[in-house]
């Protein structure tokens, strides 16, 4: 049982998956910072000094200074500003992954090779030169 477990852990795919998971988590943190610290303040400034993190609809009837104060108080509220930030995070991550996958697919395309020099004889299925008019193996006349 231990040997099977050790072999399972040693597999390259599992290690690659673990590395991809850690890199994805780090990438998500970087994108969150990009969106929350760079993109959203610029969009908020363009719209008219709006802080998306403080946009919420209070359902409790009590007035709160900010969305974070409402969260700390446990107030029933719809925090749509945080949702907008998360949605933009998702879109940025999806866009970057799309470009990475497209670049990978472009690099994995098979390179056009040389034209084939042989063909299969329709009678005996042996490979023969393309220009052959008679099969050297079964002596069939080729069209």
pLDDT tens digits, one per residue of 15-37 = 778 888 898 889 888 888 888 88
Q: Do 79 and 141 share a domain, yes or no? A: no
Domain interval for residue 120: 114-143
Q: Is 77 exposed, middle or buried (0-12, 13-18, 19+ CB in 10 A)?
A: middle
Q: Do 96 and 33 share a domain, yes or no? A: yes
Considering the chain, what is the average pLDDT of its residues?
85
Supply the pTM of this predicted model. Answer: 0.57
Q: Do 28 and 78 share a domain, yes or no? A: yes
The pLDDT score that the predictor gives to residue 141 is 87
Q: Do 102 and 120 share a domain, yes or no? A: no
Residue 143 has pLDDT above 80, yes or no: no
Q: Are strands 77-78 and 57-58 parallel, antiparallel or unpaired?
A: antiparallel
Q: Are 69 and 21 in contact (CB under 8 A)?
A: no
Residue 81 has pLDDT above 80, yes or no: yes
Q: Do 99 and 124 share a domain, yes or no? A: no
d(CA 133, CA 123): 13
Determine what percent of the chain is predicted with pLDDT higher than 70.
97
Work out the pLDDT band at 127, boundaries 50, 70, 90: very high
Q: Do 99 and 120 share a domain, yes or no? A: no
Q: Do 21 and 40 share a domain, yes or no? A: yes
Q: How many domains does the chain have?
A: 2
Q: Do 88 and 67 share a domain, yes or no? A: yes
């Amino acid at each position: 049982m231990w040997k099977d477990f050790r072999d399972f852990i040693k597999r390259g795919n599992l290690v690659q998956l673990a590395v991809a998971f850690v890199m994805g988590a780090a990438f998500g943190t970087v994108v969150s910072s990009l969106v929350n610290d760079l993109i959203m303040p610029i969009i908020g400034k363009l719209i008219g000094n709006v802080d998306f993190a403080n946009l919420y609809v209070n359902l409790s009837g009590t007035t709160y200074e900010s969305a974070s104060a409402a969260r700390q108080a446990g107030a029933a509220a719809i925090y749509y500003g945080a949702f907008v930030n998360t949605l933009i995070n998702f879109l940025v991550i999806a866009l970057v992954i799309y470009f990475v996958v497209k670049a990978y697919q472009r690099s994995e395309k098979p390179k056009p090779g040389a034209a084939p020099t042989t063909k299969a004889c329709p009678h005996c299925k042996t490979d023969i030169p393309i220009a052959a008019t008679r099969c050297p193996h079964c002596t069939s006349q080729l069209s």
